[in-house]
Amino acid sequence: MIFEKIDRIRDFVREKKGQGKTVGFVPTMGYLHRGHAALAERARRECGTVVASIFVNPLQFGPREDYAEYPRDFDRDCRMLEECRVDALFHPPVEEMYPGGFCTHVEVEGLTGCLCGKSRPGHFRGVATVVTKLFNIVQPDRAYFGQKDAQQALVIKRMVEDLNMPVEIVTVPTVREEDGLAMSSRNVYLTPEQRAEAPVLYESLKEAARAVSGGERDARTLAGMVRERLSGLKGAGIDYVEIRSLPDLKEVERLDSPALLALAVRFGKTRLIDNIVLEV
Ligand code: AMP
């Protein structure tokens, strides 16, 4: 069932909750792939009712980012959600989410000043605001987010805790192509040459993880290894390679507890992110 109106999806969820069902929620921007499917399948296993949303949120794109070109294929997305046995899809038009006069935003401080927050000012404010709205609309018991966007998942967890939102956040492991490239709706932007080079991102992360298994604990050395490996890429620029503490994303010098190694690389105008948790 597809709902475009806030009141209608609310009615749907109210009815399901009245039947005693737990509601799982999978927010997305569409152009779905197996990464999104993994979230929906996990929700299907854990919840009586599964609601997904497709909404390309203008608030989380910067003025020079790809909001207008963001890939869309609604019919294919619907088929995929049906295959995952999602019960309802919330697909609001922009005016339904942001009517004239809209002026309230949610700001998660601290966690959003580094990594993607640094190169995409305002991005996490847009994410936190839309996720708050979606949570208020759908009122799920659980919501599912991908580890691929590790900082996003941490920001949402922090927000839910700080604002006492009655929803459990579940993080689902990153789904990858066979060659290791993290699945992303933006992978379609890559030229064949860029696509052929892109698996180096994950290879460089795994190399650092192997070094940690081998005893290396110095964060600067580990990040340096990744940068070195990425510097071999033709036509790609490093946005950041950083090791940060979990879950508060503080700078780390020596690894004495599990830490996040995260990177963002630009291939032309396509920006790809990936990460790995370094276990010590
Ligand atoms: P998006 O449509 O890019 O906003 O992503 C919607 C949700 O799917 C977010 O929670 C993402 O972290 C998650 N997601 C995107 N790509 C992957 C992936 N390759 N593996 C797991 N989750 C993903």
Domains and CATH numbers, the chain: 2-172 (3.40.50.620), 185-278 (3.30.1300.10)
pLDDT for residue 279 is more than 90: yes
Q: What pLDDT, on the 0 to 100 scale, is given for residue 218?
A: 98
Cα-to-centroid distance, 35 and ligand 1 (Å):
6
Q: Tally the C-alpha atoms within 13 A of residue 264's C-alpha that lie toward its C-beta.
A: 16
- The C-alpha atoms of residue 165 and residue 279 are separated, in whole angstroms, by 30
pLDDT for residue 162 is more than 90: yes
Cβ(42) to ligand 1 under 6 A?
Answer: no
Q: What pLDDT, on the 0 to 100 scale, is given for residue 235?
A: 83
* Closest Cα to atom 17 of ligand 1: 35
Band (25; pLDDT cuts 50, 70, 90): very high
Q: Is 111 exposed, middle or buried (0-12, 13-18, 19+ CB in 10 A)?
A: buried
Band (153; pLDDT cuts 50, 70, 90): very high
Q: What pLDDT, on the 0 to 100 scale, is given for residue 93?
A: 98
> What's the average model confidence in pLDDT over 183-200?
96
Q: What pLDDT, on the 0 to 100 scale, is given for residue 167?
A: 98
Contact predicate 251/264, CB 8 Å = no
Identity of the amino acid at 121: P
Name the residue of 67, 91, 148, 185 whose CB sits within 8 Å of the most ligand 1 atoms, as the mutation to test its pocket: 148
C-alpha to C-alpha distances, 258 to 34, 60, 174, 206, 244, nearest whole angstrom: 27, 29, 17, 15, 9
- pLDDT, tens digit, for every residue of 71-81? 999 999 999 99
- The C-alpha atoms of residue 203 and residue 31 are separated, in whole angstroms, by 26
Cα-to-centroid distance, 178 and ligand 1 (Å):
17
The residue among 117, 4, 114, 7 whose CA lies nearest residue 55 is 4
pLDDT for residue 216 is more than 90: yes
Q: What pLDDT, on the 0 to 100 scale, is given for residue 234?
A: 87
Name the residue of 32, 36, 270 whose CB sits within 8 Å of the most ligand 1 atoms, as the mutation to test its pocket: 36
Cα-to-centroid distance, 151 and ligand 1 (Å):
12
- pLDDT, tens digit, for every residue of 86-139? 999 999 999 999 999 999 999 999 999 999 999 999 999 999 999 999 999 999
Cα-to-centroid distance, 8 and ligand 1 (Å):
26
> What's the average model confidence in pLDDT over 159-185?
98
Spatial CB neighbours of 7, under 8 Å, sequence gap ≥ 6: none
Contact predicate 278/243, CB 8 Å = yes
- Share the mean pLDDT of the chain: 97
- The C-alpha atoms of residue 128 and residue 81 are separated, in whole angstroms, by 24
- pTM score of the predicted model: 0.97
Q: Which atom of ligand 1 is nearest to the CA of 30?
A: 2
Q: Is 84 exposed, middle or buried (0-12, 13-18, 19+ CB in 10 A)?
A: buried
pLDDT for residue 252 is more than 90: yes
